[in-house]
Every structure is written in C-alpha cells, then in structure tokens.
Amino acid sequence: MLKNYLLILLLSFSLCKQVMAKDYAQDNISRRYSSLVINASNGDVLYKHNADALVYPASLTKMMTVYVAFQNIKSHRLSLNTSLPVSRYAASKQPTKLWLKAGQKISLRDALYGVIVHSANDASVAIAEAICGTEEAFAIKMTNIARQLGMSNTVFYNSTGLHHSGQVTTAIDMAKLAIALRRDFPELYPMFSKHSFVYRGAVVNGHNRVLKRYRGADGLKTGYVSASGFNLVTSVNRPEGKVIGVVIGGSSRVMRDNHMIALLDQGYTSLSGSRRAGADNTRRDVFLAAQVDGIDTSVSPVKKLRAKDRYNKKKIYKNKTIKLVAAKSGEKSKIRKRA
C-alpha cells in the first residue's frame, strides 16, 4: 500500500514538472512572438500582434545588408560583377556559410545570392567589408539607413544577424524594410525570389519554403537564433494586391511557416473584405506604432489602440547615442509608397 502511494506521489510530481516546463516554454515563446500583415500598397494593417515589441532579428538582419549593397549598385559604386576579397575574419564566420576561404574572391552577385538564398554569414561579412572596410563601420551605416527608412526601433551591430544583445528590431520595422527593398530596387528585388543558385558548379539550396508553398510569394528572408526563435518576412504579389507578412519568434520552422501562411490567408481575406465594403462605414486599420497588450496568437484582425504615453529608450552604440522610440502610443506611422 505504501509502495503504491509513493508511486502515485512520484508520478504526480513528475507530471507537475512536465506541466510547469510546458507552461514555461509556452510563456517564453509568447514573450518573444510578434507578427504583422500589411497591405504593401498603402500600409494598411491587416493583422498585428506585438508588432512594435523589441525582438532579435537574427538573419532578417541580412535584408538591410542587401539593401545597402543594392544602394551601392544603384549608385554605380559597385556592380553585380564586382569582385569582393574574402578576409580571414569573413571566412571565420560560423555557419550558415558558403565556406569561403581567406584570400579568395567572390563576385557581388554570388555573395548576394549566398546571403539572400542561403543566409551565408561569410558572404555577408565580405559585402560589409567591401563597402565600409569593417563590419563595425558597416553596422553603423545600416543603423543610419534604418533611421532614414523610418525604422526608429532598430539597431544593428553586425551584418549577419548572429546574436548580439543590442541588435534589436520590431515586426513593424522589418515590414518597412521589406517595402523599401521592393520600392527602391525594382530591378534587383527579384533576387529574393530565388529558391536556389549555383556556386562553383554546386547547387546551393535556400531555407525559405514558403516561397514554394504560397501562391504569389516572391521573397524575402528567413532567420533563426536561439534567442529569437524562427523568424520570417514574406512578400506576396497577387492580382488582388501586394501583402507583406512578418512572423518573429516561431517555435519551429514548420510552425513559423504554417503560421505565416495562415496569417497571409487572413490578410487577403481582410483585403478582399475591405474592398467589398467600399464606401461603408467599416473602419480600416492603419499602420500604428502601438503596443498590443496580452498574448493571443489567434488569427484575427487587429483593432486600433487608444493613444497612451510614449516612452523613450536610449542605447549606447559604440561612441554614438541612438535614441530608440519604443512606442506605447497610438501614434500613426502609416507606411506609404514613395512617389
């Protein structure tokens, strides 16, 4: 009898520990989870959750690395055929990588495909060093350009997205960057639609499975570090409209991809509904920098929030002080296409 009682007690304790671990894991995922779906044509929000919460971008960082490279191509400072030297520092970067060797050279075209398709850290650093001399200087440039694009809550410390506690962004800022990439570089943007590319005779495959799974998906980027979870920014171009989706903090690749697809479906449903409404009094949700309270990851349209007091957060970035505005207010920051 005593033996049975002790066995039941032991099993109960074990079950309690499992439940507590599950609750802790779920709570941890919830704290870092954020998502956003917007109409890329006018900035209207179709869905959002914690969209202005500070999160770690992981390899979504490389979207800005590519933006800066595209700028240099557009201004004719570089071309896709420019040969980039590979430093010992670039070659030393941890995977994912193209396994570049110190002293070799790689074309900017191959380096960009390595970054976009394969998320290669060594190629990303090679681009950074070719443009600014050091990755540190390049990261400062990335942050400055982020401010110009209205990404007020983003700070970059490297070109790769390898984890740095000070390297932060928001789902809103990543959506702004996605829109800017398509808007500012229409000739180069199709590079984001590649599923694979050939480098030195070998096929290098990408990680973005949503490109193949979702009709109309034409880019952009995946990301993962343990601190952030599984991240994804997806651009979709359909006859019924252009949509940008952001998911940050997925618990797995499969969960992230499936959740993105569900959010995009909901986004297009909301898009169609708003058009059918026409001149009705139905309120249209717009792109706000406002905190969403609570943790509810169900797929449903977001509601506008009442304006609250803003707060400012300061971060020291090397020798510069960069002010981050992590908005708790309902200040409107609708994303508009540049004329």
Q: What is the pLDDT along the chain (339 residues), one digit of tens a residue?
A: 555 554 444 444 444 433 333 333 344 455 689 999 999 999 899 999 999 999 999 999 999 999 999 999 999 999 999 999 999 999 999 999 999 999 999 999 999 999 999 999 999 999 999 999 999 999 999 999 999 999 999 999 999 999 999 999 999 999 999 999 999 999 999 999 999 999 999 999 998 999 999 999 999 999 999 999 999 999 999 999 999 999 999 999 999 999 999 999 999 998 877 665 443 433 334 343 322 222 233 333 333 323 333 223 333 333 333 333 333 333 333 333 333
Report the Cα 298 to chain-centroid distance in Å: 20
Whether 130 and 78 have beta carbons less than 8 Å apart is answered as yes
Using CA of residue 62, residue 64, residue 67, residue 73, what is the dihedral sign?
A: negative
Q: What are phi and psi of 229, to 5 degrees?
A: 85, -165
Q: Which residues are catalytically annotated? A: 59, 62, 119
pTM over 0.85: no
Q: Using CB atoms within 10 A of its CB, is residue 2 exposed (0-12), middle (13-18) or buried (19+)?
A: exposed
Which of 196, 61, 53, 78 is CA-nearest to residue 131? Answer: 78
Return the DSSP state at 148. H
Going by C-alpha positions, the residue among 186, 196, 201, 200 that lies closest to residue 107 is 200
By CB atoms closer than 10 A (0-12, 13-18, 19+), residue 259 is buried
CA 169 to chain centre: 8
C-beta neighbour count of 104 within 10 angstroms: 12
Q: Which pLDDT score is estimated for 30?
A: 56
Give the three-state DSSP class for 183. Answer: helix
Q: Helix, strand or coil for residue 287?
A: coil
Cβ atoms of 225 and 163 within 8 Å: the answer is yes
Collapsing DSSP states into helix, strand and coil, what is residue 274?
helix
CA dist 126 and 120 (Å) reads 10
What domains sit in the chain, N to C, each tagged with a CATH number? 33-332 (3.40.710.10)
DSSP string over 36-83: EEEETTT-BEEEEESTTS-B--GGGGHHHHHHHHHHHHHTTSS-TTPE
Question: What contacts 164, CB < 8 A, 6 or more positions away?
Answer: 157, 158
Closest-CA residue to 223 (of 37, 101, 63)? 63
Report CA 275 to chain centroid distance, whole Å: 28
Q: What is the pLDDT of residue 2?
A: 53
The span from the CA of 88 to the CA of 86, in Å, is 7
**Contact criterion met (CB below 8 Å) for 160 and 122:** no
d(CA 155, CA 152): 9
Give the H or E element holding residue 237. Answer: strand 229-238
What's the pLDDT at 76?
96
- The pLDDT of residue 40 is 93
